[in-house]
Amino acid sequence: MSGETELHILLRSLNPTVHDHRFVFTHIPKGHSVDWSKIQPLGMFQEREGTTLILEQHIAQAHALHYETIFACITLQIHSSLNAVGLTAAISHALATENIPANVIAAYHHDHIFVPEIKTVRAIEILKDLSNRS
């Protein structure tokens, strides 16, 4: 598997960037149908209760899908391995000390952190500080 596995290198090279769009997490109950071509989720996860979707806020609004919080997506530009150990814990801990929720999704090349939109600026500061201290 490709990507960096050494925690000290990962932390030193975080390079967090914020997406331009705002995102929401919503839920489609089991048994309900959805026109996926119109919704185009950024991410989805099947659970026994139904499907969790990560969508751009405007798409959720256009389809009258319920959500509670608006999130910013922060992408760590370092190519992290899915076998790396400790990155999610280090990031979550750093953000938790400032009372910032972190919904972390590891994709093949990068880790993506969804934080409440109102805490985006502080989250970026914390992540940059974590990287500079490593």
Distances from the Cα of 60 to the Cαs of 21, 38, 85, in angstroms? 13, 11, 34
Q: Which domains does the chain have, with CATH numbers?
A: 7-133 (3.30.2130.10)
Mean pLDDT for all residues in the chain: 94
Greater confidence (1 vs 116) lies with: 116
32-68 pLDDT, tens digit each: 877 877 889 999 999 999 999 999 999 999 999 999 9
Distances (CA, A) of 42 to 32, 60, 83, 92, 97: 19, 12, 23, 21, 28
Q: What is the pLDDT at residue 1?
A: 60
Is the distance from CB of 27 to CB of 70 less than 8 angstroms?
A: no
